[in-house]
A and B are shown apart, each in its own frame.
Chain A
Amino acid sequence: MLEMLETVWTWLQSQYLIWTVLKILVIVAPLITAVAFYTYFERKVIGAMQIRVGPNRVGPLGLIQPFADVFKLLLKEIILPTNANRFLFVLAPVIALAPAFAAWAVVPFNDFLVLADVDAGLLYVLALTSLGVYGIIIAGWASNSKYAFLGAMRAAAQAVSYEIAMGFALVGVLILAGTMNLREIVLAQQGGLFDWFWLPLLPLFVIYMISGLAETNRAPFDVAEGESEIVAGFHVEYSGAAFAVFFLAEYANMILISGLTAILFAGGWLSPFQGWPLLGDTILGQESIIWFLAKTVVFMFMFLWYRATFPRYRYDQIMRLGWKVLIPITLVWVLVAAMMVLLGIVVRGS
């Protein structure tokens, strides 16, 4: 029996295509589950912050609620608006979803758990996150609805503006790490909490998180949806499964940005207590995938925290913040980071 399993195992590893598809499944299936429970987490956290209980009816502690929501959405009818562009209307959610999943290909979970350990990993992520906006624009245009179109316009301008600040924040990381390989970027942050890049790149770290909020169209930058002004923005005409796919894409993107923040600025799978006197030798000082997941969850929680805390930005304020505040700060800090490497304050790649 065991021998048979072993032969199956070695055969599987020799079949490159099947093996890769299996690996993709191992990444995507937990991701979709994570999205489902992220919605539950969001409702519970915001409920707690507003002194409410949150969902507590379906299953113990309301834990089955996300599945109830999913089945409700899947069983609902998809309504095509009159004069909507049929093909693009159906294609838009898929275009929004694909980059959100594809970017996970280069995300390293620990030193060896990564689907594609490519050299230009950071560029690849940047390219894919910039594609997500097409889903929103196409949805807005194909819906043949004023509200949807306004939402799409806002999303497009916002995404293009904040991508620049985001890109510059990544340049700072590149300067300190000296590589674009995500795995090597993490390895360049070896040595405890204060050796991670968030400290020397504090302004860029903050700006990356702000741009991440804006790129995923989350509160306080959710003017693309802006339910009090333009009903539900770009997905106002979507219902049922098509809406569910948009929902999935938005939350998958949030998890992706959280994971990337953990990798780029918070040492990925490295332990915060690495090399510390007492704790460094215990199990807490070991590097492990659990650290990566824990950090990602912390950043995911921050997304919800912001949503419960900040009122929505006015549209002109968003543009002013992006162009006149964030981009100049990043430009200055890229120089500062280069000086830090040049003067030996931060040793590159260690």
Chain B
Amino acid sequence: MIVQELIFYAFSLVMIFAAVSVITVRNPVYAVLFLVLAFFSAAAIWLLLEAEFLAIILIVVYVGAVMVLFLFVVMMLDINLVPFKEGFIRYLPVAVLVALAMAVELLMVLWARGRFGADMFPVPPLSSADYSNTRELGQLLYSNYLLPFEVAGVILLVAIIAAVALTLRTRPGIRTQNPSAQVRTRRDESVRLVKMKSEKPRSV
């Protein structure tokens, strides 16, 4: 399908541009916004792979929640990026080396022939329209991989509780609100009606 290829290349180009911009732009707010764009393009490419659940979860979790908090912090802190960029030239050769190594590894997978070569694995057929990626994932997670899934959940729960426990501290001597006491307040606790006779205004 030519249309699908066009869509794929369009989103790939946008994604590469956004990813490069994340590390090159000066303004940290722009960097976060470009990261959002990169996530968004990645989600679009996943949609083309018929992985609609992963694509939408990427948007809901990363774009909808995590990056909002990122943006929140970056806007509040007014970070100066100049000190971060000081060693840019010095570390550049190492970075280029690592990037090259990864690129070569990726290309080796593409060009490999023989046992692990791309030619050994047929292109997976397009699934029919009523195929639900979400249903398949759910069935796998809650049957074959139930135990690892639950363990991962418990680990996350422990992390949440640990984070709360680490940051929760009761400082003495500060005034806090007690919502239930506020709600329980009755009118006669704070208002006192005083009976008095009406007064005649003094004649002018």
Give B132's nearest chain A residue, CB to CB.
Answer: A119
Distance between B72 CB and nearest chain A CB, rounded to angstroms: 5
Shortest distance between the CB of A289 and any CB in chain B (Å): 25
Give Cα distance in the complex from A157 to B76, angstroms: 13
**B68 within 8 A of partner (CB):** yes
Whether A273 sits at the interface, judged by CB under 8 Å, is no
> Which residues in chain B, 22-54, are within 8 Å of chain A measured between CB atoms?
29, 33, 36, 52-53
- Overall SS of chain B's interface: helix
Given contacts A119-B132, A123-B134, A163-B64, are A137 and B71 in contact (CB under 8 A)? yes
Residues of chain A within 8 A (CB-CB) of B60 are: 123, 126-127, 130, 167
Interface size on A, residues (CB 8 A): 28
Residue picked from B64, B69, B132, most chain A C-beta under 10 Å: B64
Which residues of chain B are near A149, meaning CB under 8 Å?
Answer: 75
Q: Which residues of B contact A320 (CB under 8 A)?
A: 179
In chain A between 257 and 310, which residues have their CB closer than 8 angstroms to a CB of chain B?
Answer: none
- B61-73 interface bits toward A, Cβ cutoff 8 Å, 1 = contact, 0 = none: 0011100110110
Inter-chain CA distance A283–B60, complex, in Å, is 41
CB distance from A261 to the nearest CB of B (A): 20
Residues of A within 8 A of B36 (CB): 134
> Could you mark each residue 107-128 of chain A with 1 if its beta carbon is under 8 Å from any beta carbon of chain B, else 0?
0000000000011100110110
Chain B neighbourhood of A141, CB < 8 A: 29, 75
- Say yes or no: is A188 at the interface (Cβ < 8 Å to chain B): no
Q: Which residues of B contact A163 (CB under 8 A)?
A: 64-65
Q: Which residues of A123-144 have CB atoms within 8 Å of chain B's CB atoms?
A: 123-124, 126-127, 130-131, 133-134, 137-138, 141
Kindly list chain A residues whose C-beta atoms are within 8 Å of the C-beta of B33. Answer: 88, 138
Contacts of B57 in A (CB 8 A): 123
Q: Indicate whether B56 reaches chain A with its CB closer than 8 angstroms.
A: yes
Cα–Cα distance between A118 and B55 once the two chains are bound (Å): 14
Does residue B15 face the partner (Cβ distance < 8 Å to A)?
Answer: no
Residues of B within 8 Å of A, CB-based: how many?
Answer: 25
Determine chain A's interface SS by DSSP, over half rule: helix
Min CB gap A72→B, angstroms = 32
In the complex, A130 Cα to B58 Cα: how many Å?
Answer: 12
Does the CB pair B64–A157 fall under 8 Å? Answer: no
Chain A proximity mask over B130-152: 1 for CB below 8 Å, otherwise 0: 10111100000000000000000
Beta-carbon nearest neighbor of A321 in chain B: B179
Contact of A130 among B65, B71, B130, B177 (CB under 8 A): B65
Report chain B residues within 8 Å CB of A134: 36, 68
Contact A131 B53 (CB under 8 A): no
Instruction: Indicate if A159 sits at the interface (CB-CB under 8 A).
Output: yes
A residues near B75, Cβ cutoff 8 Å: 137, 141, 149, 152-153
User: Nearest chain A CB to B118's CB is how many angstroms away?
Assistant: 30
* A248 interface contact, C-beta 8 A: no
In Å, the complex CA distance between A88 and B29 comes to 11
Instruction: Give Cα A163 to B65, complex, Å.
Output: 9
* List of B residues within 8 angstroms of A88 by Cβ: 33
Q: Which residues of B are found within 8 Å of A138, using beta-carbon distances?
A: 33
Residues in A lying within 8 Å of B, measured CB to CB: 88, 118-120, 123-124, 126-127, 130-131, 133-134, 137-138, 141, 149, 152-153, 156-157, 159-160, 163, 167, 180, 316-317, 320
Q: Which B residues form the contact surface with A (CB < 8 A)? A: 29, 33, 36, 52-53, 56-57, 59-60, 63-65, 68-69, 71-72, 75-76, 130, 132-135, 177, 179
A-B contact pairs, 28 of them (CB 8 A): A88-B33, A119-B132, A119-B133, A119-B134, A119-B135, A120-B53, A120-B133, A123-B60, A123-B134, A127-B56, A127-B60, A127-B63, A130-B60, A130-B63, A131-B59, A131-B63, A134-B68, A137-B68, A137-B71, A141-B75, A153-B72, A153-B76, A156-B71, A160-B65, A160-B68, A167-B60, A316-B177, A320-B179
